[in-house]
């Protein structure tokens, strides 16, 4: 295989991963649907082949496109408030059918519509605003949570497709072997789009809700999805897609899409941010009186919707239908369009419940290019039953959270229970992707992509990596080479082993690590819910005060540091840990550790008093922790999982006890640490991530066992560290801290034409750390603990916090080139310390919408 072909194959497979088709269709119908009275185009009109499930909705310009290989002879056109239309179709031909719909509804007497040319919009004496206030006042009684009990079936289908690919691509020599993929196109799911489905997940659940005490229980009945093989974490990809396409509840004040908070058009404060207009009044066939309310943002740069909602005039003022489109002017990456439409059905008591919710999104690198990625999430709700009580045991947590049988339901099960219909193209996705993953060329390229993107190379039962740690350097070890790997689920679903070996050419020492983990629930130990026991041993170097998330300390990018960075420890750690996560995202852990620290670099040796020298520090610890993160979601990676931040708080409490004279432990002490994290949405000023933390040490300990505050001497911006604090600069036995990271989302830049075009976004942060040392842990007051380190000139490099806090602040710009954040950081206190940076520029890489 030549390099050119390998490169082409790499590009093709990588595109499938990051984003992941036209069968010979004979009948193609396109056209525009308009109002017969005023000739204006009608959006969201349903157009389908009579006697089939093949249909589509018109777009904002009233345009539609239908395609089928079957010889259908009629189109049926339906739209609320208009008479149904049926028109003849000529099978086997391309044809244009423009359709006019005639209103079937009568104008309502209850609402008076008055239009004035160029009248200034105002809420005062505005019938549209009066109506939306009635909707807001009646929200609570129109939600399902107004009932004491609710149960229903929920079918969730998520599909992603490559859109508008050239028909010529499958004829190219390289892609001919993948022709079966390119032939499976769909032009019926969304008007004006030719879609090539590459990702599909279906989920069927039975949902129970109880009001008092409030509890929602979801029983998974079946789940089915494409599988790209071991090279791709299919569950992790699905979880991330669901994060982009959160379930839409129009009755809540905030709707979360694309990781952002959109204000609902019927939020309590909606009249302050939206303009409302009564654009139609109709009576449906069952004599339900509706008002069509159109809405637009007052400020076109705010994170808001535009669209229409239909409101009932039966005294409930409920939403009967909704169409929401995200504001085109807001600062969102790669999203050319996102639209949500919802339909509601009548309950026996006359109220309405959500029956179907469709979310469409068109992703692309630029608006000019037609191709890209198109996502559709359809959620169907059926079999609503209200106020039927269920025994309390039904709402109790399951002992077994996941039954493997639900992922292996038969085709007959899905045919009988699927609450929606798969298109022809969707029904072929499972077989096509299965065939693709069995092709040798695909697997070779998948391995290469996995190595480059995830850092691992798989060999069936074992994988080698991460690649970013193969080479690094530091002042103590010099050039450092490392190789390691771990077992996969192909080796065992219960036992997981991980190891690495490393060698420093300057200190001429070997470092190594070995861990064995037993999964108590036969699930991967990296996935929720974790329930495992792990034993490990590690001999390696460590920088005191450097704490990293989702990245190894010997990552090549962390080899580059500012200032003097030669404060190292050699550590030997024997550990055993037990971790258990519950269904409600309450988790707890217990552990034990024997830990030996040996000074290296400028820390050598440990000194106690004028002449007592110690070559190592030995401790034995027992620990326990509890953490609560309600509704937490993760993006699952190969080596770690990344929490997807939402509006819910994360609370944790950890306790550690040092045991003297147990397994060589030299000190007796207790450590207590508490932390709370919360994201606050501040419309229209974006959001703020706030972290509050505090800790206390009881007992006398040397400085390596104190709280060594998280520092950062790299050029990367680390959210959870003090980016202008030196390693081992501050230690405490009691402390409290606060960190605020504000993201304005382009609130100010969007008002500047050039910056708005660049889609840059503003950030600001502030961090403050209060702390101190008791007399028993301060070497200037006690001769029983190690002296703080000093530099070659005898100048201290480690300090206790005094009467003032350590503080730093930053202002920055994110979304540069769509993934770069640059911060100008200023240190605000303790500016007289040696070898510090009073200010600096730090960079963070993060992909975000």
Q: Closest Cα partner for 193 from 339, 301, 41?
A: 339
**Do the Cβ atoms of 107 and 81 come closer than 8 Å?**
no
Residue 637: the pLDDT is 60
Residue 353: the pLDDT is 92
Count Cα neighbours of 763 within 13 Å in the Cβ-side half-sphere.
24
Distance CA 363, CA 374 (A): 6
Q: Tokens at residue 164, please? A: 């508008």
CA 745 from centre of chain: 17
Residue 26: the pLDDT is 66
Highest mean pLDDT among 98-102, 116-120, 785-789, 826-830: 826-830
Query: 462 phi and psi, to 5 degrees?
Result: -145, 145
Distance CA 733, CA 773 (A): 5
Residue 268: the pLDDT is 93
Residue 366: the pLDDT is 67
Convert 508-570 into a string of H (helix), E (strand) and C (coil). Answer: CEEEEEEEEEEECCCCCCCCCCCEEEEEEEEEEEECCCCCCCCCCCCCHHHHCECCCCCEEEE
Residue 314: the pLDDT is 85
Distance CA 450, CA 231 (A): 6
CA distances to 76, 596, 665, 702, 788 from 609, in Å: 92, 21, 21, 12, 11
Residue 842: the pLDDT is 94
Distance CA 761, CA 775 (A): 47
Convert 124-155 into a string of H (helix), E (strand) and C (coil). Answer: CCCHHHHHHHHHHHCHHHHCHHHCCEEEEEEE
Q: Is the peptide bond before 213 cis (omega within 30 degrees of 0)?
A: yes
Average pLDDT, the chain: 85
Residue 507: the pLDDT is 94
Pick the residue with more confidence: 243 or 112? 243
Phi-psi region of 167 (alpha: psi -120 to 50; beta: other; left: phi over 0): alpha
**Do the Cβ atoms of 139 and 403 come closer than 8 Å?**
no
Residue 653: the pLDDT is 98
**Do the Cβ atoms of 643 and 585 come closer than 8 Å?**
no
**Pairing of β 633-636 and β 641-644:** antiparallel
**Residue 239 in this model has a pLDDT that exceeds 80:** no
Distance CA 100, CA 37 (A): 9
- The DSSP call for residue 90 is -
CB-neighbour burial class of residue 392 (10 A; exposed 0-12, middle 13-18, buried 19+):
exposed
**pLDDT band at residue 550 under the 50/70/90 scheme:** very low
- The DSSP call for residue 178 is G
Distance CA 319, CA 250 (A): 9
Q: Tokens at residue 650, please? A: 């994360």
- Residue whose entry in the numeric block shows the structure tokens 């170097």: 541
Distance CA 536, CA 540 (A): 13
**Residue 806 in this model has a pLDDT that exceeds 60:** yes
When pLDDT is averaged across residues 523-539 and rounded to a whole number, the result is 90
**pLDDT band at residue 610 under the 50/70/90 scheme:** low
Lowest average pLDDT, out of 214-218, 293-297, 371-375, goes to: 371-375
**pLDDT band at residue 274 under the 50/70/90 scheme:** very high
Residue 400: the pLDDT is 45
**Pairing of β 730-732 and β 799-800:** parallel
For the sheet with 85-88, list strands across it: 55-57, 46-49, 74-78, 85-88
Task: List residues bridging with 593 in a β-sheet.
Answer: 575, 621
**pLDDT band at residue 246 under the 50/70/90 scheme:** confident
Distance CA 452, CA 1 (A): 20
Q: Tokens at residue 838, please? A: 């009073």
End-to-end, the C-alpha distance of the chain in Å comes to 38
Residue 355: the pLDDT is 94
Tens digits of residue pLDDT in 87-111: 988 888 888 899 998 876 444 344 4
Distance CA 540, CA 568 (A): 10
Lowest average pLDDT, out of 112-116, 326-330, 374-378, goes to: 112-116
Pick the residue with more confidence: 610 or 291? 291
Sequence-ordered strand ranges (E) for 269-334: 274-283, 289-297, 305-312, 319-326
Pick the residue with more confidence: 555 or 701? 701
**Residue 731 in this model has a pLDDT that exceeds 70:** yes
Distance CA 454, CA 448 (A): 10
- Residue whose entry in the numeric block shows the structure tokens 């530099």: 791
Lowest average pLDDT, out of 293-297, 726-730, 766-770, 845-849, goes to: 845-849
**pLDDT band at residue 658 under the 50/70/90 scheme:** very high
CB-neighbour burial class of residue 449 (10 A; exposed 0-12, middle 13-18, buried 19+):
buried
**pLDDT band at residue 379 under the 50/70/90 scheme:** very high
Highest mean pLDDT among 187-201, 401-415, 808-822: 808-822
pTM of structure: 0.73
Q: Tokens at residue 495, please? A: 């036992």
Residues in the chain: 849
Residue 401: the pLDDT is 45
**pLDDT band at residue 230 under the 50/70/90 scheme:** low
**Residue 809 in this model has a pLDDT that exceeds 80:** yes
Pick the residue with more confidence: 666 or 488? 666
Distance CA 375, CA 240 (A): 13
**Do the Cβ atoms of 239 and 276 come closer than 8 Å?**
no
Task: List residues bridging with 46 in a β-sheet.
Answer: 57, 78
Tens digits of residue pLDDT in 771-786: 999 999 999 888 888 9
Pick the residue with more confidence: 548 or 137? 137
- Residue whose entry in the numeric block shows the structure tokens 């490169």: 7
**Residue 642 in this model has a pLDDT that exceeds 50:** yes
Residue 25: the pLDDT is 43
Tens digits of residue pLDDT in 14-43: 444 444 333 334 688 888 998 887 788 887
**Residue 49 in this model has a pLDDT that exceeds 90:** no
Question: pLDDT over 70 for what percent of the chain?
Answer: 88
Distance CA 825, CA 835 (A): 16
**Do the Cβ atoms of 702 and 786 come closer than 8 Å?**
yes
Highest mean pLDDT among 367-371, 453-457, 492-496, 531-535: 531-535
Tens digits of residue pLDDT in 312-349: 988 889 999 999 998 777 777 788 889 999 999 988 78
Helix (H, G, I), strand (E, B) or coil at 176: helix
Pick the residue with more confidence: 343 or 550? 343
Count Cα neighbours of 517 within 13 Å in the Cβ-side half-sphere.
25
Q: How many helices (H) and strands (E) does the chain have?
A: 11, 45
Distance CA 730, CA 554 (A): 23
**Residue 168 in this model has a pLDDT that exceeds 80:** no
Distance CA 577, CA 599 (A): 26
């Amino acid at each position: 295989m030549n390099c050119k072909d390998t490169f082409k194959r790499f590009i093709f497979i990588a595109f499938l991963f990051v984003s992941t088709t036209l069968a010979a269709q004979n009948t193609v119908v396109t056209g525009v649907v308009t109002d017969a009275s005023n000739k204006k185009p009608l959006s969201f009109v349903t157009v389908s082949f009579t006697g089939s499930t093949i249909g589509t909705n018109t777009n904002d310009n009233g345009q539609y496109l239908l395609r089928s290989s079957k010889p259908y002879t009629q189109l049926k056109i339906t739209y609320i408030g208009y008479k149904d239309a049926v028109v003849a179709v000529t099978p086997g031909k391309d044809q244009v059918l423009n359709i006019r719909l005639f209103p079937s509804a009568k104008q309502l007497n209850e609402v008076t519509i008055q239009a004035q040319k160029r009248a200034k919009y105002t809420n005062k004496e505005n019938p549209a605003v009066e109506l939306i206030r009635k909707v807001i006042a009646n929200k609570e009684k129109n939600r399902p949570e107004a009932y004491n009990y609710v149960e229903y079936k929920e079918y969730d289908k998520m599909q992603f497709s490559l859109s508008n690919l050239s028909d010529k691509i499958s004829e190219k020599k390289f892609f001919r072997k993948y022709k079966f993929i390119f032939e499976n196109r769909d032009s019926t799911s969304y008007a004006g789009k030719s879609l090539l489905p590459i990702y599909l997940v279906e989920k069927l659940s039975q949902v129970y809700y109880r009001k008092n005490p409030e509890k929602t229980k979801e029983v998974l009945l079946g789940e089915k999805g494409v599988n790209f093989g071991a090279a791709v974490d299919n569950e992790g990809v699905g979880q991330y897609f669901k994060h982009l396409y959160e379930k839409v509840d129009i009755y809540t004040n905030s709707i979360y899409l694309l990781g952002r908070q959109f204000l609902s058009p019927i939020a309590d404060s909606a009249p302050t941010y939206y303009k409302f207009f009564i654009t139609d009044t109709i009576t449906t066939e069952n004599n339900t009186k509706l008002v069509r309310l159109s809405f637009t943002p007052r400020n076109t740069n705010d994170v808001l919707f535009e669209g229409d909602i239909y409101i009932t005039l039966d005294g409930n003022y409920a939403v009967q239908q909704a169409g929401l489109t995200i504001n085109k002017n807001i600062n969102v990456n790669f999203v050319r369009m996102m639209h949500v439409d919802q339909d509601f059905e009548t309950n026996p008591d006359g109220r309405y419940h959500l029956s179907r919710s469709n979310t469409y999104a068109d992703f692309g690198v630029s608006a000019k290019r037609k191709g890209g990625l198109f996502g559709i999430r359809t959620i169907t709700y059926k079999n609503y039953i209200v106020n039927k009580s269920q025994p309390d045991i039904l709402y109790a947590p399951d002992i077994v959270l996941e039954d493997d049988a639900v992922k292996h339901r038969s085709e007959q099960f899905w045919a009988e229970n699927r609450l929606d219909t798969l298109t022809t193209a969707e029904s072929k996705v499972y077989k096509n992707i299965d065939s693709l993953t069995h092709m040798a060329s695909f697997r070779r390229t998948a391995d290469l992509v996995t190595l480059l993107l995830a850092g691992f190379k798989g060999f069936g039962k074992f994988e080698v990596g991460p690649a970013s740690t193969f080479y690094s350097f530091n002042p103590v070890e010099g050039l450092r080479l490392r190789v390691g790997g771990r077992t996969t689920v192909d080796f065992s679903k219960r036992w997981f082993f991980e190891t690495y070996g490393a060698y420093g050419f300057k200190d001429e020492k070997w470092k190594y690590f070995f861990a064995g983990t037993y999964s108590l629930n036969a699930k991967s130990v990296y996935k929720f819910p974790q329930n495992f026991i792990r034993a490990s041993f590690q001999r390696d170097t460590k920088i005191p005060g450097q704490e990293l998330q989702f990245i190894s300390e010997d990552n090549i990018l962390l080899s580059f540091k500012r200032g003097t960075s030669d404060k190292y420890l050699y550590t030997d750690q024997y550990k055993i840990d037990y971790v258990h996560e519950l269904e409600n995202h309450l988790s707890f852990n217990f552990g034990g550790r024997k830990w030996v620290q040996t000074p290296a670099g400028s820390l050598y040796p440990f000194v106690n008093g004028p002449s007592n020298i110690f070559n190592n520090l030995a401790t034995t610890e027992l620990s326990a922790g509890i953490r609560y993160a309600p509704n937490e979601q993760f993006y699952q990676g190969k080596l770690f999982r990344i929490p997807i931040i939402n509006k819910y708080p994360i609370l944790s409490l950890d306790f550690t006890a040092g045991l003297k004279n147990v397994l060589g432990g030299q000190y007796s002490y207790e450590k207590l640490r508490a932390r709370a994290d919360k994201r606050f949405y501040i419309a229209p000023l974006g959001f703020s991530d706030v972290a509050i933390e505090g800790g206390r040490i009881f007992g006398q300990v040397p400085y390596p066992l104190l709280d060594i505050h998280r520092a950062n001497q790299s050029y990367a911006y680390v959210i959870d560290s003090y980016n202008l604090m030196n390693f081992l600069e501050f230690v405490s036995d009691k402390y409290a801290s606060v960190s605020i990271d504000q993201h304005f989302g382009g609130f100010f830049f969007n008002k500047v034409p050039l910056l708005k075009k660049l889609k840059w976004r503003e950030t600001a942060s502030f961090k403050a750390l209060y702390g101190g040392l008791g007399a028993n842990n301060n070497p200037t007051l006690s001769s029983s603990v190690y002296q703080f380190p000093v530099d070659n000139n005898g100048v201290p490099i480690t300090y206790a916090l005094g009467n003032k806090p350590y503080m730093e602040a930053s202002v920055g710009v994110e979304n540069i080139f769509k993934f770069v954040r640059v911060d100008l950081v200023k240190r605000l206190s303790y500016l007289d310390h040696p070898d510090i940076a009073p200010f600096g520029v730090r960079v963070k890489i993060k992909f975000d919408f």
